[in-house]
Structures are given as C-alpha cells and as structure tokens.
C-alpha cells in the first residue's frame, strides 16, 4: 500500500480531476467523510457540497452536485451529476443563481408565484451557496 490515493472526479461530460493525493474529504448524503490511503472499500451516495483534497501542503476544492463515491484502498472515484474545480467557478454567475433562487424561495410560499417548485428552488439555492463558499475559500489561499 502506498502513501498516496488516486482521486478521479468524473461528470457525465468530462474527467474533472485526476490526481495523486494524500487525503480526501467528501460530502456524503449521510454526512461528510474522509478517505486516506489504505481505506476500506465502500460505495457512498453524495450530497451537494464541497469536496476537499490535500496534496502535499496544499488543499484543493471541488464543487460536487450529488452522485456516488467508490472508495478502494488506493483509489477514490467520484461520479458526480456535475462538478466544478474551485478555479473554474464563475462567481458572478453563482451570485446571479443565488439571487434567482432566493427570490423563488420567497415568492412561492408568499403566493406571489404559486407555480414555483419550492424544492427545486431550495436545491438551486444550496448549490449556488456552496459554489460561492468554495470560490471564497479559493481566493483566500
């Protein structure tokens, strides 16, 4: 067993990341979990959230929009509905998305626009807030 872990993040349209890393922290549907080299194999369902990985002395961040994680002793594969490296997040677009989602979340219960799918608007709000948080962390490094 080595001291590194192969991390691959795949979305339907591309390979987002393929790196040898020291550790990974993943947003699981049942809560956040960490993976180190030599970990026991398992499968997990992912939540919308921030995936963080450490490589040497640096930490990288990736937005993950649900999916699955396949963990093995020397590799973790993330199959995400969509994902985005922190460096690729368009902050202005994420902020616009947050504003639209917040507006929809407020308008539907108030009866202003009863055709709005509140659950969908809340999910969009969660995704935009996570993307903004990841972008903020990236700029502080």
Q: Which domains does the chain have, with CATH numbers?
A: 5-86 (2.60.15.10), 89-139 (1.20.5)
Residue among 49, 9, 18 nearest 33 (CA): 49
- Token reading at 9: 């993040």
| Structure tokens, 107 | 């308008």
CA dist 73 and 124 (Å) reads 34
- Going by pLDDT thresholds of 50, 70 and 90, the confidence category of residue 2 is confident
Name the pLDDT band for 78 (thresholds 50, 70, 90): very high
Contacts of 126 (CB under 8 A, 6+ apart): 48
Distance of CA 57 to the CA centre of its chain: 21
**Nearest CA among 27, 63, 62 for reference residue 47:** 27
Report how far Cα 122 is from the mean position of its chain's Cα atoms.
Answer: 16
- For residue 92, give the 3-state DSSP assignment: helix
Beta carbons of 68 and 30 less than 8 angstroms apart = no
User: Does residue 61 surpass a pLDDT of 80?
Assistant: yes
Cβ distance 29 to 70 under 8 Å?
A: no
Of 3-7, 27-31, 39-43, 103-107, the range with the lowest mean pLDDT is 103-107
How high is the pLDDT of residue 109?
Answer: 64
**Between 52 and 140, where is the model more confident?**
52
Cα–Cα distance for residue pair 82/46, rounded to 1 Å: 11
141, pLDDT greater than 90: no
């Amino acid at each position: 067993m080595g001291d590194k872990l192969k991390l691959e993040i795949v979305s339907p349209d591309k390979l987002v990341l393929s790196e040898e890393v020291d550790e990974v922290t993943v947003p699981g549907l049942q809560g956040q979990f960490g993976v180190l080299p030599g970990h026991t194999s398992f499968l997990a369902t992912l939540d919308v959230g921030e995936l963080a990985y450490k490589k040497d002395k640096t930490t990288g961040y990736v937005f993950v929009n649900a999916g699955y994680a396949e963990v093995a002793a020397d590799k973790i594969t993330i199959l995400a509905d969509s994902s985005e490296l922190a460096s690729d997040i368009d902050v202005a677009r994420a902020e616009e998305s947050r504003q639209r989602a917040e507006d929809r979340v407020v308008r539907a219960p108030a009866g202003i626009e009863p055709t709005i799918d509140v659950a969908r608007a809340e999910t969009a709000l969660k995704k935009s807030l996570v993307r903004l948080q990841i972008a903020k962390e990236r700029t502080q490094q």
